[in-house]
Amino acid sequence: MVTIQLRAHLAFLMLPLFVFGVPTDEPDPKEVTTTPSSCRRCCDPLNSHESPEAAPDLASRHSLPYPMPEVRPYINITILKGEKGDRGESGIPGKWGKEGPRGERGPQGQKGSKGQMGAPGDPCKHQYAAFSVGRKKALHSSEGYQALIFDTVFVNLYGHFNMFNGKFYCYVAGLYFFSLNVHTWNFKETYMHIMRNESEEVILYAQPSDRSIMQSQSLMLELQEKDEVWVRLYKRERENAIYSDDIDVYITFNGYLVKPSID
């Protein structure tokens, strides 16, 4: 039993000789060339060239029968990684960037609800005005001025001409045309004016003559709302008259809106 144990220990001691071989003095070509009396440590670089001052120190080293492996440390970074930290506070907002290009038009939205009723508007205004009136009776001058009153209506659109005082009232501001036609009296002067408010605009005049004639006058006026246009006979200090025979219409006064003003 003792012999068997001794043989087992001897085999264990001889195992490196069979694995690595018996050491010899001849250098292996594959090994690093060293001096017979020098040796290397496993941590020395293989191709280093020592300085002359280190030669005595190398003589004391012994060669190893096998090359030493190079040891390189390796650290697993994933082991050192910690847990995720808390979210930090928000930073200060940056400056506004440049305005970008205009985007495409979006889809049409839904129809909104009905709004509230608005305030009442202004009364409807007719954008037309026209009148044509006549007189069948003759007229003589008096001590003062006289407004020519008419007794026959041909056209009085929307009633803008007042037959009681002989005046046209402007309800639509704009450009108007007016005309006056009369028949003169023999041996008497005819002296009349077409008036705007209290201003004399144009005169209709005929000298005394042994023959009566038809005389006319016309003009265009730019009127404002509430202006008045009428015909006035001059006073008696100048004897004048207009003729008619109560049957036919010798005297006419006409007017109409040419173009309304643009607000």
Measure the CA–CA gap between 228 and 161, rounded to whole angstroms. 10
E-assigned strands of the chain? 130-135, 139-140, 146-147, 152-156, 161-162, 167-169, 174-183, 190-196, 199-206, 214-223, 228-233, 241-242, 251-260
Assigned token pair, 235 = 């006073």
190 within a domain of the structure (yes/no): yes
Measure the CA–CA gap between 130 and 101, rounded to whole angstroms. 58
| DSSP character at residue 158 | G
207 within a domain of the structure (yes/no): yes
Measure the CA–CA gap between 163 and 160, rounded to whole angstroms. 9
239 within a domain of the structure (yes/no): yes
Measure the CA–CA gap between 32 and 40, rounded to whole angstroms. 10
Q: H or E stretch including 19?
A: helix 2-20
Spatial neighbors of 66 by CB under 8 A, at least 6 apart, are 20
Owning domain of residue 244 = 130-260
- pLDDT recorded at residue 32: 44
* Residue length of the chain: 263
Tell me the CATH number at 157. Answer: 2.60.120.40
Measure the CA–CA gap between 149 and 241, rounded to whole angstroms. 14
What Rg value do the Cα atoms of the chain yield, rounded?
67
Nearest to 251 by CA among 157, 169, 148: 148
Q: Tell me how many helices (H) and strands (E) the chain has.
A: 3, 13
Nearest to 180 by CA among 226, 219, 147: 219
Number of domains the chain contains: 1
- Triad 47, 53, 58: Cα angle to 5°: 55
Q: Each residue's pLDDT tens digit in the chain (263 positions)?
A: 556 666 666 666 666 555 555 555 555 544 444 444 456 666 666 554 545 444 445 445 555 666 777 777 766 666 666 778 888 888 888 888 888 888 888 888 888 888 877 777 666 666 899 999 999 999 888 888 889 999 999 999 999 999 999 999 999 999 999 999 999 988 888 989 999 999 999 999 888 888 888 999 999 999 999 999 999 998 767 678 899 888 899 999 999 999 999 76
242 within a domain of the structure (yes/no): yes
101 within a domain of the structure (yes/no): no
